[in-house]
Chain A
Amino acid sequence: MGRYLKFALPVVVLLALIGLFAKGLFINPTIVASPLIDKPAPAFSLPGLKDPKQALTQATFHGQVYLLNVWGSWCVACRDEHPALMQFAAEHVLPIYGLDYKDERSAAEDMLAKQGDPYTTIAYDASGDVGINWGVYGAPETFLVDKQGVIRHKYIGPLSESIIRDDLMPRIRALEAERP
């Protein structure tokens, strides 16, 4: 028994370490889970992107299940996800609000004019302060907010047709089935 253990123990420890390191290899360290999940969406007050006189607050969005997509014309990955957002917007499943994050107004409008505008309304966060309040650390990020205005899910990185279909849609359906 003692001799058996003497050989088996190092092997077991080695295998456990290999398993641990292998798991570490497949963790994406750039995805940091948001502590804001299941917390009320942070309050904000921002001008609209298209109409600077428009005053937008979280109350403008609340009352229904919605997506808040954080994007910027400077963000390459946002351009990548744009066609998927356009397609999803055309299905009219839920309002998709935009938070134009640390952007130039003209550059943002230019991008939407060229690639289309999937957003119901866009809030313009020039300084990025509202982004920080929402725990944004890069674009694109997409928040799913329920009827009570509580953040229920956050997707970090560019959306794609399959992510919308397989990850977001089941969550949206579940939230829409909840009582208002």
Chain B
Amino acid sequence: MRQLLILCAAMLFFTPALAIDSEAPFQDPVLETRYEDLTHDFRCLVCQNETVADSDADLAADFRRQIHGMVAAGKSDAEIRAYMVARYGDFVLYKPPVQTNTWLLWGGPFLFLVVGLGVAIQVLRRRAAADAGHGAP
């Protein structure tokens, strides 16, 4: 029992294994934060539902190395995004951009909301009218 408790207590201190890269972290915390944020913005094309930051795939490590190099070279976030999109297309962006071919994706939920509200209002009105017709219950 005691051992089990110790084991359970020990589990509290486990941290997830993080991908290990050869690059040293940036000394400048601003650059390091930018690098970290950027790696969360791109999709690993091998395991497509993971970001470049989270993925263990070789390709993600290569992407991180590229991003690291570009941040170190003083490229802006927009330039780095443009670099990746020029080579891998919009799909490499983890969050799809709002543009003509994604309006349904972004607008869809609102469209459903409007349609749903419309239906709800119509049903409520009809019910109210029916109630009025029957008089007080």
Binding site for B on A (CB under 8 A): 29-30, 32-36, 102, 127-129, 131-135, 137-138
B62 within 8 Å of A (CB atoms): yes
Are B87's CB and A138's CB within 8 A? no
Are B89's CB and A134's CB within 8 A? no
Are A35's CB and B62's CB within 8 A? no
Which residues does chain A contribute within 8 Å of B46, judged by CB atoms?
Answer: 137-138
* Contact among A102, A133, A134, A137 for B45, CB-based, below 8 A: A137
Which residues does chain A contribute within 8 Å of B48, judged by CB atoms?
Answer: 29-30
Are A33's CB and B89's CB within 8 A? yes
Q: Beyond A29-B48, A35-B85, A137-B45, is A132–B91 a contact (Cβ under 8 Å)?
A: no
- In the complex, besides A102-B62, A132-B87, 19 extra interface pairs with C-beta distance below 8 angstroms are A34-B89, A35-B85, A35-B86, A35-B88, A36-B86, A128-B62, A129-B62, A131-B62, A132-B63, A132-B66, A135-B87, A135-B89, A137-B45, A137-B46, A137-B59, A137-B88, A138-B45, A138-B46, A138-B59
Which residues does chain B contribute within 8 Å of A32, judged by CB atoms?
Answer: 45, 88-89, 91
* Contact among A30, A33, A132, A135 for B62, CB-based, below 8 A: A132
B21 within 8 Å of A (CB atoms): no
CB of B95, distance to nearest CB on chain A (Å): 16
CB of A139, distance to nearest CB on chain B (Å): 10
CB of A138, distance to nearest CB on chain B (Å): 6
Binding site for A on B (CB under 8 A): 45-46, 48, 58-59, 62-63, 66, 85-89, 91
Chain B minimum-CB-distance residue to A34: B89
CB of B40, distance to nearest CB on chain A (Å): 18
CB of A141, distance to nearest CB on chain B (Å): 11
Give Cα A137 to B85, complex, Å. Answer: 13
Which residues does chain B contribute within 8 Å of A129, judged by CB atoms?
Answer: 62, 66
Chain B minimum-CB-distance residue to A32: B91
Give Cα A138 to B63, complex, Å. Answer: 13
25 example contacts (A-B, Cβ-Cβ < 8 A) are as follows: A29-B48, A32-B45, A32-B89, A32-B91, A34-B88, A35-B85, A35-B87, A35-B88, A36-B86, A36-B87, A102-B58, A127-B62, A128-B58, A128-B59, A128-B62, A129-B62, A129-B66, A131-B62, A132-B63, A132-B66, A137-B45, A137-B46, A137-B59, A138-B45, A138-B46
Which residues does chain B contribute within 8 Å of A127, judged by CB atoms?
Answer: 62
Which residues does chain A contribute within 8 Å of B62, judged by CB atoms?
Answer: 102, 127-129, 131-132
Give Cα A36 to B87, complex, Å. Answer: 6
Chain B minimum-CB-distance residue to A134: B87
Give Cα A36 to B59, complex, Å. Answer: 18
Chain A minimum-CB-distance residue to B85: A35
CB of B71, distance to nearest CB on chain A (Å): 15
Chain B minimum-CB-distance residue to A35: B89
Which residues does chain B contribute within 8 Å of A29, judged by CB atoms?
Answer: 48
Give Cα A128 to B88, complex, Å. Answer: 15
- Most chain-B Cβ atoms within 10 A of its Cβ — which of A33, A127, A134, A135? A135
